[in-house]
Structure 1
Amino acid sequence: MNMIDTTHRAMDADATSERGVSAELRELSAKLSAMSGLAEAQLTAAIDALAARDTELAERVVAGDAAIDDLETDINARAMGMLTRHAPVAADLREIVAALKISSNIERIGDYAANIAKRAVIVNGYGQVPAATGVIELGHLVRQYTQTVFDAYVERNVAKAESVWRGDAEIDALHTSVFQDLLSDMLVEHDYVLPCTHLLFCIKNLERIGDHATNVAETIQFLVAGTQLAERRRDKNGRAQERASIPLTTSMSADFHTGEKP
């Protein structure tokens, strides 16, 4: 075999490998889109179960959480397999790392949706609480931002992702307002104490879902541009944080799981 034949064979092998990676990336993205769609449906159903006092729907949400967990396991296996087989770089590497990070956040969103549904089953056994309308309002706002960030991933739309990232402050503000309303209800009527306690957990879960949507938004920026969203912002305790616009490929060994257990 002469040098020209060897070169042609090597080029053919590279082309075949590149096509294989592209196909696997498309499958990975499709799995992640399916996972996000399921999590969005779970969140919507959990909010509806709370709003309509629909215990049967809430129980279906709780049972449906396992499907999201299964998809995360599948995505992780695919992503790690691609890292091992192909040793990807640049855009391909970002795609795989982003899938790992986003799937972790989606799994947590699914968990929080299930937690809300569990609380709904309990709350439905009590009388209507006045401040519950605020809880539903917060739920709809969080669902809206969650849907937007999932659309941003499919579209690779950085502008949409940034709108979600900036919208986290709106979620936090409404959370604080509803929190105060629930406490007021508890002070006014003793019978509201137990259901309001469960609703306090619900709004905390919703606030955390908003945080995970923000995490996904940041990952989309990384996926598309290889940089972080940069802006001075204050954390939950009022401390100033500076999020510098730096390449994330220098920290690939970081833990991909950014979720927090409830």
Structure 2
Amino acid sequence: MAPLRFSANVSWLFPELPGLPARLRAAGSSGFEAAEVGWPYEEPPEALARAAREVGLQLVLINTPPGDREKGEMGLGAVPGRQAAFRDGLEQAVLYAKALGCPRIHLMAGRVPQGADRAAVRGEMETVFLENLRHAAGVLAQGELYSWIPPGARRTLWGCWNPSTPASRTPAAAILEKVGRPNLQLQMDIFHWQIMDGNLTGNIREFLPFVGGTGPGPRGTQQPWRAELPLSVPTAGR
């Protein structure tokens, strides 16, 4: 089994430090060799790249822009009527990824629109997501970039959209099968998998072929002892 490699999500870690460049330097000084940034777009990419170089840090993941957070948006990939904004945000993410030498972009599906019934808009949101993922796969392939989609986060992010697919216990994997592009992969978000579905070891075994990387989830990225998953849980293939 390959050894685990860890990256610091500086959108969550080192909150006492002002600005992402300072957090990147702190991550490198703490022994991390890789880092993730949720939304780097308030900082010039040159400043982030310089901070990472100073401490020998590799940027490994950024998110697509969240949209209008004041209106409750948290990603646009599956939001009807926001396809143009998603594609504009994707172009911005690609520019940042290239400037940062970052090979992966998390394509955020987003939330069910405020006031909408989840069941009523499920089909439309899945159609929009598939359309946007196919577009994104083509754009990212031109830059030799990969993208991740997570299984969902309905308990920690209110209203987070997650398709309901009876044929699969992990609907995100079913979405990837429908798109069928090798540069779209599943983010194995261990924290959310556990609290939404349980059966963590079985899910890892079943869906590992789709996985491009793992993450402990937002609580694990802050304080691992607060997460629901016990540290002694066995892993598939161990």
Question: Is the shorter-chain TM-score for this pair beyond 0.5, marking a shared fold?
Answer: no
Structure that is richer in strand per residue: 2
The answer to which structure, 1 or 2, has the higher relative contact order (CA under 8 A, 6+ apart) is 1
Structure that is richer in helix per residue: 1
TM-score (structure 2 length as normaliser):
0.30
